[in-house]
Amino acid sequence: MIRKTDACAAMREEIHALFDEDGPISLPGPLREHLDACSACREFAGELGTLRSAFRELPSYPLPQEVLDEVRRRTIHAPTLSVVRSAPAWTRAAAAAVFATALIATTWIVTRPVPIDGGPTDAELRHAEAQAELVFGYAARALDATRSAAAERVVASKVSPAVRGSNATAPPARRDGQ
Amino acid sequence: MTTADFEGAVSQFKDRVHSYARYMLRDAEEAKDVAQECLVKLWQNRDRIEPGPACRSWLLRSAHNLCIDRMRRRSIRGEVSHGDDAFEPVDPAPGPERRASSSQAGRLLEQALAGLSDRDRAIVLLREVERLPYEEIATLLDLNMGTLKATLHRTRDKLRRELVRAEAAP
C-alpha cells in the first residue's frame, strides 16, 4: 500500500510536469499503464484537465474605454513640449537690427584696408588741417556772398524805388509831430 | 517601438494587463489605475522596448510591480488582506465589463483564486493564464526554479480541490 502511494506521488508529479507543457499532452507509456491501473490518479489527471480548461474560461476584464481614452490623451495625443510662442513684431525688428549691425561690423573689421606704414605723420595732418580750413573759409565766404546777393534781389523786387529813396534820405515822420 | 507599434501593443495587451491587475488587486479602481500607468510607462519607455513578446513581458512585469507596490501600501495602511483560507467571492454578480462567455467553471476558479496568497496567485496567473516561461516568472518573483515549480504544483492542487468542492456543492 505504501509502495503504491509512493508510486502515485511520483506519477502525479509527472502529471503536473505534463500540464506544465504548452500544447496537447501525450502520456508516456509507464504513466499510461499507471493510469489504467489507478483510478485515483486517473481522477486526479481528469481534475487537472478540468482546471486547465477553467483557466482558459477565466473571466476577462476588458479595459474600460474611458481609461483607454485617458491613456491615448497622455501618450500619442499628448501635446508636445516644444511650444513655439510668437514674439512681438518690435522684438523681431530689434533682433534683425542687432543682427544686421553685427554683420556690418564684422564685414568692416574683416575687409577694412590695413595701413602699411603706420598712417600720416603729424606734419602731414597739420598740413591737411590747414588746407581743410582754407577750403571751409572759402566756402563760408562764398555762402555769405550768395546770401547777401539773394537778399538784395528780394528787396529790389518787393520794395518800390520811392520807398527805397525816402528811406535812404529821411527818417519816417512821427505821429505825435515831435 | 514606433507609435504604430505602441498602438498595436495597447490594442493587443491592454485587457490582459487590466485583467492581471484586477485579479491581483481585487479592486476595480486600482486595477484601472495600474493598467493606465503601465501603458503610459510603456509609451515613455518605447525607445527601449521591442514590440512583440518582449513588450508583453515588459507590461506584465510592470503591472506586477505596480500591484506589489499597491499591496504593500495597503498593508502599511492596515487594510484587510485576504489570507490563504479566506475564499471570498470577487464580484459575485457578473458586471457588464466582464466577458459574457465566461463559464461557470471560470467563475468558480475566479473565486478560488481570490483565496490564494498574493505570491501564489501571481505564480498561477503568470504561468497558467499568461503562459510566461518559468525562467521569466522566477526572475520576476525572485524565486529559484525548484520553489517556483513546487509552489505551482501545490497551488494547482489547491485550486483543483476547490473546483471539485465547489462543483459538488448544491
What is the C-alpha to C-alpha distance for residues A98 and A106, in angstroms, rounded to an integer?
Answer: 12
Place of cell 510592470: B62
- The pLDDT, as a whole number, for residue B148 is 94
Q: Which of B37, B29, B32, B28 is nearest to B66 (CA)?
A: B37
Is residue B120 within 8 Å of residue B151, measured between CB atoms?
yes
Confidence of residue B79 (pLDDT cuts 50, 70, 90): low
- The pLDDT, as a whole number, for residue B161 is 92
Question: With 50 as the cut, is the pLDDT of residue A1 above it?
Answer: no
Please compute the mean of the pLDDT values over residues B121-143 and round it to a whole number: 91
Q: Is A69 on the interface with B (CB under 8 A)?
A: no
- Encode burial over B40-67: b for 16+ CB neighbours within 10 A, e otherwise: bbbbeebeebebeeebbbbbbbbbbebb
Q: Is A9 on the interface with B (CB under 8 A)?
A: no
Confidence of residue B94 (pLDDT cuts 50, 70, 90): very low
Calculate how close chain B gets to A84, using CA atoms only, in Å: 23
Question: With 90 as the cut, is the pLDDT of residue A142 above it?
Answer: no
Taking CB atoms and an 8 Å limit, are B156 and A19 in contact across chains? yes
Is residue B94 within 8 Å of residue B107, measured between CB atoms?
yes
What is the C-alpha to C-alpha distance for residues A164 and A153, in angstroms, rounded to an integer?
Answer: 13
Q: Which residues of A touch B19 (CB under 8 A)?
A: 60-61
Please compute the mean of the pLDDT values over residues A106-134 and round it to a whole number: 80
Q: Which residues of B touch A65 (CB under 8 A)?
A: none
Lowest-pLDDT range of A116-120, B12-16, B64-68: A116-120
pLDDT in tens, B3-48: 999 999 999 999 999 999 999 999 999 999 999 999 999 999 999 9
The mean predicted confidence, pLDDT, of chain A is 78
- The pLDDT, as a whole number, for residue B123 is 95
- The pLDDT, as a whole number, for residue A3 is 45
Distance of alpha carbon A54 from its chain centroid, rounded? 58
Confidence of residue A87 (pLDDT cuts 50, 70, 90): low
ipTM above 0.90 for this complex? no
- For residue A159, which phi and psi values (nearest 5 degrees)? -110, 135
Taking CB atoms and an 8 Å limit, are B163 and A19 in contact across chains? no
- Per-residue HEC secondary structure of A63-110 comes to CCHHHHHHHHHHCCCCCCCCCCCCCCHHHHHHHHHHHHHHHHHHHHHH
- The pLDDT, as a whole number, for residue B83 is 40
Q: What percent of chain A has pLDDT over 70?
A: 75
- The pLDDT, as a whole number, for residue B87 is 35
Taking CB atoms and an 8 Å limit, are B22 and A48 in contact across chains? no
Taking CB atoms and an 8 Å limit, are B6 and A76 in contact across chains? yes
Calculate how close chain B gets to A17, using CA atoms only, in Å: 9
**DSSP H helices in chain A:** 2-20, 29-37, 39-56, 65-74, 89-111, 122-158, 161-169
Residue A61: which of B18, B106, B109 has the nearest Cβ? B18
Residue B40: which of A44, A61, A75 has the nearest Cβ? A75
Residue of chain A minimizing CA distance to B98: A61
Question: With 60 as the cut, is the pLDDT of residue B91 above it?
Answer: no
What is the C-alpha to C-alpha distance for residues B17 and B61, in angstroms, rounded to an integer?
Answer: 10
If one counts every other C-beta atom within 10 angstroms of the C-beta of residue A58, the result is: 21
pTM for this predicted structure: 0.62
Q: Which residues of B touch A55 (CB under 8 A)?
A: 109, 128-129
The mean predicted confidence, pLDDT, of chain B is 84
Which grid cell sits at B32?
484601472
pLDDT in tens, B102-127: 578 888 899 899 999 999 999 999 99
Question: With 50 as the cut, is the pLDDT of residue B99 above it?
Answer: no
- The pLDDT, as a whole number, for residue B9 is 92
Which grid cell sits at B103?
463559464
Question: With 80 as the cut, is the pLDDT of residue B88 above it?
Answer: no
- The pLDDT, as a whole number, for residue B80 is 56
Confidence of residue B101 (pLDDT cuts 50, 70, 90): very low
- The pLDDT, as a whole number, for residue A177 is 43
Q: Is B22 on the interface with A (CB under 8 A)?
A: yes
Q: Is B52 on the interface with A (CB under 8 A)?
A: no
Amino acid at B22: R
Higher pLDDT, A95 or B77: A95
What is the C-alpha to C-alpha distance for residues A4 and A70, in angstroms, rounded to an integer?
Answer: 60
- The pLDDT, as a whole number, for residue B92 is 41
- The pLDDT, as a whole number, for residue B157 is 92
What is the C-alpha to C-alpha distance for residues B26 and B32, in angstroms, rounded to an integer?
Answer: 11
- The pLDDT, as a whole number, for residue A83 is 47
**Mutation to test the A interface, candidates B41, B90, B151, B156, most A Cβ within 10 Å:** B156
Q: Is A90 on the interface with B (CB under 8 A)?
A: no
Residue of chain B minimizing CA distance to A14: B153
What is the C-alpha to C-alpha distance for residues B149 and B134, in angstroms, rounded to an integer?
Answer: 8
Listing DSSP states for chain B in one string gives --HHHHHHHHHHHHHHHHHHHHHHH--HHHHHHHHHHHHHHHHHTGGG--SSHHHHHHHHHHHHHHHHHHHHHHHHHT-----TT--PPSSSSPPTTS-TT--HHHHHHHHHHHTS-HHHHHHHIIIIIS---HHHHHHHHT--HHHHHHHHHHHHHHHHHHHHHHHH--
Confidence of residue A165 (pLDDT cuts 50, 70, 90): low
What is the largest distance, in Å, between two alpha-carbon atoms of chain B?
54
Q: Which of B38, B46, B30, B33 is nearest to B13 (CA)?
A: B38
pLDDT in tens, A15-30: 888 888 776 777 788 8
Please compute the mean of the pLDDT values over residues B132-152 and round it to a whole number: 91
Is residue B51 within 8 Å of residue B139, measured between CB atoms?
no
